[in-house]
Chains A and B, each alone.
With several copies, the nearest count.
Chain A
Amino acid sequence: MKPPRLLDAWSAVVRRDLLSALRHRADLLTTLIFFVIVASLFPLGVGSDAALLRSIGPGVIWVAALLASILALARLFSGDYADGTLEQLALAPYSLTFLALGKIVAHWLATGLPLVIVAPLLGVQFDLNADALLVLMASLLLGTPTLSLIGAVGAALTLGVRGGGALLSLLILPLYVPVLIFGAGAVEASAAGLGAGAHLSLLGAFLLSALVFAPWATAVSLRIAVE
């Protein structure tokens, strides 16, 4: 047998994480249910006035997605860190940047994608129209990978640092602001009958730049963590 090449190693990382996630279906559900519950708490806290709900709907769904994605991030590297897998990844004869990207991709597939799929259900709760629902899905499809990418940097930085979860949100939430603004903005624009094209292409641009920059920063942070 030939030794595995970079792409083999990469796909092993992705498949291992997806398999682990599947074994813990409950974990996957958690993120999803958290998303649904947070979005559904609002009508309870705010009151049930339909017009009010319609106007806050996109924002609330996006904030819920953002919080759910943070919740899931806490687990992105912590398991690997505790059981020594991360050390082994850092010692693998491949670029850690690339392997870290593998972990992020698996993480998004396991936790981000389900949010995108479930979101329309929540949109209906807030009385969004069909166009707005489509735009909601599109904006989440472009936005949640960006959240995972940026979040991975924070998750790597807070490894082994006590206070992890809360510190992670403190570091990452401010950085999420642009995604939130344009994500929610796209849906609002479409709900108001305006085009959402500009918003969506900006979200796409964010995604691309995060793809370039975040895996590298994550790898640097992971090396710091295993020192």
Chain B
Amino acid sequence: MTSRINWFKYSSPASFYPLAGKLIPAFFAVASLLAVCGLYIGFFVAPTDAQQGEAYRIIFIHVPAAWMSMFLYVVMAFWAGMGLAFNTRLSSMMASAIAPTGALMTFIALWTGALWGKPMWGAWWVWDARLTSELILLFLYLGFMSLQAAIDDPRRADKAGAVIALVGAVNVPIIYFSVQWWNTLHQGASVSLTRNPSMAATMLAGMLIMALAIWIYSIAVVLMRVRSVILERERNSDWVQELTEQQS
């Protein structure tokens, strides 16, 4: 019972705002610590790959970013759906706050992938299934953000964004599998991602730590963005005005 009351308390922007404010520094601290560890392992501890040389080390950024880009879309759609179903303002704000970070992660995955692709495949870009679906994911994020940006009434923007996020969420798996099938149909074996199947344990560890770091970093950034969205949307409410008075 008590936990339930707590939950509802923090689902109101007014009480969520200070809570988030307290959590953010902690999240950032943990994220940077993990990132330092992960990068150290990745760049100094992990052995040089037999086939791919030093260039492979970019996976310590590439793979966590790619994972996070997909994960964040699901989380975003979840919050947007909650906002649409239960009309809770905070959930919708979460969704709009997640989108830019998700798009950023997608972009990083694409960029690092392209950087890696040049030495590996001799081309910045190939129409591989995985690459293609990552690109489409980027478009989905951009669509969500453009739609919200194009609508000025925040309540309407939230609802419209939720619809497109949900439609997208239904489609993402379909897109993922169709793209995969498309590629195998066309050039099956020539998709030469010559990967080293038995990844050394240290490499795995480095990657997992980096993934955790990026995860926690995302949480921190999203909380920051939610805080500024709250301030903007509630700037006429009493508690925000008290807050600004206190600060000035």
Q: Point out residues on A near B: beta carbons under 8 Å.
A: 24-27, 29-30, 33, 36-37, 40, 43-44, 47-50, 53, 124-125, 127, 150, 153-154, 157-158, 161-163, 167, 170-171, 173-175, 177-178, 181-182, 185, 189, 206, 213, 217, 220-221, 224, 227
Shortest CB-to-CB span from B41 to chain A, Å, is 32
| C-alpha spacing A22/B75, complex, angstroms | 31
B182 to chain A: closest residue by CB: A181
- Chain A residues contacting B170 (CB-CB under 8 Å) are 213
Partner of B163, one of A53, A127, A153, A161: A153
- Does A124 lie within 8 Å of B125, measured CB to CB? yes
Say yes or no for B224: interface residue by CB 8 A criterion. no
A47 to chain B: closest residue by CB: B186
- Does A33 lie within 8 Å of B142, measured CB to CB? yes
| C-alpha spacing A125/B143, complex, angstroms | 21
Give 4 nearest A-B pairs by CB, closest first. Answer: A48-B127, A178-B178, A26-B149, A174-B139
- Chain A residues contacting B185 (CB-CB under 8 Å) are 185, 189
- Does A181 lie within 8 Å of B150, measured CB to CB? no
B145 to chain A: closest residue by CB: A26
Check A125/B125 contact, CB under 8 A, given A48-B187, A185-B185. Answer: yes
| C-alpha spacing A43/B136, complex, angstroms | 13
- Chain B residues contacting A163 (CB-CB under 8 Å) are 146, 150
Check A127/B123 contact, CB under 8 A, given A48-B128, A170-B142. Answer: yes
- Does A220 lie within 8 Å of B163, measured CB to CB? yes
B146 to chain A: closest residue by CB: A26
- Chain B residues contacting A167 (CB-CB under 8 Å) are 146-147, 150
Shortest CB-to-CB span from A180 to chain B, Å, is 9
- Does B139 lie within 8 Å of A173, measured CB to CB? yes
Q: Point out residues on B near A: beta carbons under 8 Å.
A: 84, 123-128, 132, 135-136, 139-140, 142-143, 146-147, 149-151, 153, 156, 159-160, 163-164, 166-168, 170-171, 174-175, 178-179, 181-183, 185-187
Q: List 7 A–B pairs whose Cβ atoms lie within 8 Å, in order of A's numbering.
A: A24-B150, A36-B139, A37-B139, A48-B128, A154-B164, A163-B150, A178-B175
| C-alpha spacing A163/B148, complex, angstroms | 12
Partner of B132, one of A25, A30, A44, A171: A44
Q: Is the interface of B mostly helix, strand, loop or mixed?
A: helix
- Does A217 lie within 8 Å of B150, measured CB to CB? no
- Does A170 lie within 8 Å of B179, measured CB to CB? no
- Chain A residues contacting B135 (CB-CB under 8 Å) are 40
| C-alpha spacing A26/B84, complex, angstroms | 23
- Chain A residues contacting B183 (CB-CB under 8 Å) are 48
Partner of A157, one of B139, B163, B179, B182: B163
Q: Which of B139, B146, B170 has the most CB of A within 10 A?
A: B146
B148 to chain A: closest residue by CB: A26
| C-alpha spacing A124/B241, complex, angstroms | 51
A122 to chain B: closest residue by CB: B125
- Does B126 lie within 8 Å of A177, measured CB to CB? no
Check A49/B178 contact, CB under 8 A, given A25-B149, A174-B136. Answer: no
| C-alpha spacing A189/B182, complex, angstroms | 11
Shortest CB-to-CB span from B1 to chain A, Å, is 34
B122 to chain A: closest residue by CB: A127
A202 to chain B: closest residue by CB: B178
Query: In the complex, given contacts A44-B132, A48-B187, A220-B84, what are 6 additional A-B residue pairs having Cβ atoms less than 8 angstroms apart?
Result: A40-B132, A125-B125, A153-B167, A174-B143, A178-B175, A221-B163
| C-alpha spacing A41/B84, complex, angstroms | 31
Partner of A177, one of B136, B147, B167: B136
- Does A161 lie within 8 Å of B126, measured CB to CB? no
Check A170/B171 contact, CB under 8 A, given A26-B149, A50-B123, A217-B166. Answer: no
| C-alpha spacing A88/B155, complex, angstroms | 22
- Does A182 lie within 8 Å of B178, measured CB to CB? yes
- Chain A residues contacting B147 (CB-CB under 8 Å) are 157-158, 161, 167, 171
- Chain B residues contacting A213 (CB-CB under 8 Å) are 167, 170
